[in-house]
Amino acid sequence: MKSLKHLAVLSAALITLLQSTPLSAEGTTAPAEPIISANPGLQSVPIKQVLTNELVLKKNSKAMLFNKKPLQAAQPLTIKSSSSYAALNGIAGPFGYKLSYNAKTKESIATAGSIELRFKPGSDIIKINGEAVKGPGPTFILKGSLMVPLRMWSNLTGSRIISRGTETVINWAAPPSAEFAVQPSEIIAGETVVQYFVDGVPTIVDPMNERERWEGRQDVFMEAGPHTVTRWVQGENGVWSEPYSVTVDVKMPNLPPAADFTTDKTVYRIGEPIVYTSTSTDENNDIAATKWTGNAPAFFSEGEHAVTLEVKDGGGLTGTITKMITVSSEIMYTEEEFNLLFTPVGRKFDMDGAEVLTYPAVSYSFTNEAARLVHSNSPERFTTTGLVYDTVLSGATRFLFYNESGASFPLKMYLVATNTDNRVATVGVGAWGKGGPDKSTIMAGKMATIRYMDAMNKNAPANYISLNPGESQVLIPEMSKVPLKPGDVFSAYADVVSDYNIRYRIVVVQDGQDPLPVLDDLTVMPRDNKHVRGTFDYADRVIDLSTNESLGLKPQRIVLGEGKLDKLIDGIDEMTGLLEYDLGNFGVLYKMKVHVAPNTLVGVNGRGGHYAGAFIVNGTLVPVTTDSALLDPNETAVLYRTGAAPETLDLVFTLASGSYLPINLTFQQMPSLQQ
């Protein structure tokens, strides 16, 4: 039999106890299975927890506090023979012990993991895993509850007892935390080097460290799938932590996508349409880009023609395949016939530009409707800051801006509205669109025209502001968001409306400068005498050819923007008071009705050089072109094809800023479809 002094050996037993059955923060026996982190990714923040369990008992009271939570003992804390006794069934639970009773030996048994404590009423002998140890005094029964010496219990469990008045406080260490985090969040089998972070610091495995154990930890996971990594740590007092586990989802290495495509036939005639269908696959369904080479919609020479498809996945890996398309000597369509029949609307095809001039030009008359236009294009090139245009207007006004920066420093252009009336005025901005800043003149004009026509076609609602008498505000601040750097081109259209007189000023200031405080100090920019600056009051042009004979029964054209048949509108430069002609009729809104014969292709052919803009055809916006521009007179863009019956087309357009004029609307009969 061992004496009470021999209880020092219980430290080892206690370590074994807590290693096998660690206590949770609430003092109950922890689950046997490891705790799995719900968020094992990069967002997991490991926190080292150092907790102390506390059990407070009160003399002659059944009330207890376990970690400040109230508990009720079966019997009160009792003093006997100068020793404090507590009911075993009251204190065992907080320490993580489960109780049972052996009726044959008349022993109360407390077990926790591999530790077994046996108590017998009236005896001062305690059996620890079968080994008898003498305690400070005998146990006894009080009203059906086994009472054990508190000091003995403290020695058995490695806890500390403190007297605090009528209270007895027992403290014991909780197990340390083994939390950790895994980085990075995406782990690829055989590729990713994995790091394990504790308290935000990357760790390594020290084989000499007997106070830390890992299971499942790998620097590089070679197999894809879920992998569980578990860690245990031992505190300075010998207490082992609960196992903490992170499940790592290891992904397969990214493989290149498999490029492949099919065609609707194996052998084609010359000029026969070809349908290409990509059947490319990627293990992650992550094909991000597709590039075709040589995939002509038809071939116009017999023989073998190579077509290549390249696909790229989100990880940047590519797959490529090349197949040969076989074309026989039989002719289905010539290239000219094919283009007339199959070039998509909004796309362009090659043709003989000189031949277009042989098409008879259709005579037409027009009506100019009241619609105000402010066209600001002079000086076209800004070399410094200043006041570009100044006018007082009410009602609806269409603004057109087109300029290039020739200054050595960044500039911004603003449209400023000032209420000159003695009443509160309302100013609204409806459809508008901008292009640029851009180094390309054609792209700036093209995008401004497309965006404005699209907004107008969608009946974009006006956004209104109120101006007090004398108040100034910048209109369309989005238009001035990006500065004009040297060499940049900018264009914009905007529909503006007001209920009272508004002074509109177009101003240019340095980037970063507020235009409002310097409005009245800006110097007027002189016009360049090459481009247009002015206000025009009849800027909607109506052309009605719906009652004429159908166009397209033979090749025909309508000439626009040449200044002769399509006469220039006139207005006034309000900065000088001089008569102004709107050269090219840029900014004029054309509304055209035309009766078109069956089986007719309606196109647009640029005669002066590059052209890029947009048309609204029967309510549908058609960019010219969808993927490029008309670069010379030998290219025509498709606007519309009529069917088997005559049709009346409604065309709405404005001649695109940044493009060259004139343009021709062409009408050509299409060939019959072949089988």
Domains of the chain, by residue range, sit at: 4-32+52-173, 181-251, 261-332, 348-367+540-669, 380-530
Helices in 149-258 by DSSP H: which ranges?
150-157
**Fold match flag (4-32+52-173 vs 348-367+540-669):** no
d(CA 258, CA 255): 9
Give the HSE-up count for residue 410: Cα atoms under 13 Å, Cβ half-sphere. Answer: 11
* CA–CA distance, 161 with 158 (Å, rounded to integer): 10
8 Å CB contact between 58 and 66: no
Name the class of domain 348-367+540-669.
Answer: mainly beta
Give the chain's mean pLDDT: 90
- 570 in helix, strand or coil? strand
User: Is the pLDDT at 133 greater than 70, yes or no?
Assistant: yes
Q: What pTM was computed for the model?
A: 0.69
- Which amino acid would we find at residue 299? F
Residue 390 pLDDT: 97
- pLDDT interval class at 238 (50, 70, 90): low
**CATH value of 261-332 in 2.40.50.140, 3.20.20.10, 1.10.10.60, 2.60.40.10:** 2.60.40.10
Q: Which 3-state string (H, E, C) describes 327-365?
A: EEEEECCCHHHHHHHHCCCCCEEECCHHHHCCCCECCCC
Query: pLDDT, tens digit, for every residue of 632-646?
Result: 999 999 999 999 999
| 139-153, 401-415, 557-571, range with the lowest pLDDT | 139-153
Pick among 2.80.10, 2.60.40, 3.40.50, 3.30.9: CATH of 181-251: 2.60.40
pLDDT of residue 159: 86
Residue type, 328: S
CATH class of the structural domain 4-32+52-173: alpha beta
Read off the pLDDT of each residue in 549-560 and give the average, rounded to a whole number: 96
* 526, burial (CB in 10 Å: exposed 0-12, middle 13-18, buried 19+): exposed
CA-wise closest residue to 139 among 172, 157, 117: 117
Weakest mean pLDDT among 85-89, 136-140, 324-328, 378-382: 136-140
For the cut 50, the answer to whether the pLDDT of residue 333 exceeds it is: yes
Q: Which CA distances in Å does 429 have to 251, 373, 460, 506, 514?
A: 53, 14, 9, 15, 21
**Rounded-to-integer distance, Cα 296 and Cα 264, Å:** 14
Given this model, what pLDDT does residue 158 score? 79
Q: Determine contact, residues 335/343, Cβ cutoff 8 Å.
A: no
Whole-number pLDDT of residue 42: 32
Place of tokens 């860690």: 231
Per-residue model confidence as pLDDT tens digits over 409-462 = 999 999 999 999 999 999 999 999 999 999 999 999 999 999 999 999 999 999
CB 391 within 8 A of CB 504: yes
164 CB contacts (<8 Å, ≥6 apart)? none
- The helix or strand, by DSSP H or E, that contains position 356, with its residue range, turns out to be helix 353-356
Q: What's the confidence (pLDDT) of residue 236?
A: 65
Dist. CA 449–CA 494, nearest whole Å: 10
Q: Which pLDDT does position 444 carry in this prediction?
A: 96
| Residue 179 Cα distances to 50, 244, 626, angstroms | 12, 6, 57
pLDDT(335) > 50: yes
3-state secondary structure 363-386: CCCCEEECEEEEEECCCCEECCCE
- Averaged pLDDT for residues 526-540: 96
Report the Cα 522 to chain-centroid distance in Å. Answer: 42
Region 616-637: mean pLDDT is 97
CA distance 410 to 356: 44
Which residue is it, tokens 């990594």? 229
For the segment 260-284, the average pLDDT, to the nearest whole number, is: 96
